[in-house]
Structure 1
């Protein structure tokens, strides 16, 4: 399946990192994120845009091709949640495993 079959728009290439570098930040206009090799290890992450930057119903498909596990986080100190869990770094994030397809949608 091509990424264009999943969602419209050009895919954004992502590189998970533990420092929040620009290559690990998802743009609000992104519909498909293609995640390449992690920088260090399974504690590297990609960062979702702030909820205020995307409309209700916004959807994102994350194609996990990192060669290993990585994390998805919400912006630091945002108190924004993934599946009702505060995922803004630290205690809880969404763990992604290589070869998964992760679908996210803003509901409020």
Structure 2
């Protein structure tokens, strides 16, 4: 067995574990977030802003955005590796991932620093 095949297997196992861990962690956060958001369905901006200012809401949003991004990025990576063969397309998709990560970070910071 070569060093490259060992590294490739290790990388796949690590990726698989992170995908499962992020999914397991995301499940309760997503369920609580859906339950909380159902309570403000149809609310105006001031009510939604007040909701986002609550400690539990901030915790759900601050945990939810990074977990959702991580889980989604890992899934997209698998799709890229399995179905996208062209290097230009792969670079374009990876660039989109960077933009999505930036949007996720900005969203988390906006929630954290927003007054409620």
Say whether the fold is shared (TM-score over 0.5). Answer: no
Normalised to the residue count of structure 2, the TM-score between the two structures is 0.21
Normalised to the residue count of structure 1, the TM-score between the two structures is 0.22
Query: Rg bigger for which structure?
Result: 2
Identify the structure with bigger relative contact order (alpha carbons < 8 Å, sequence gap 6+): 2
> Between Structure 1 and Structure 2, which shows a larger proportion of strand residues?
1
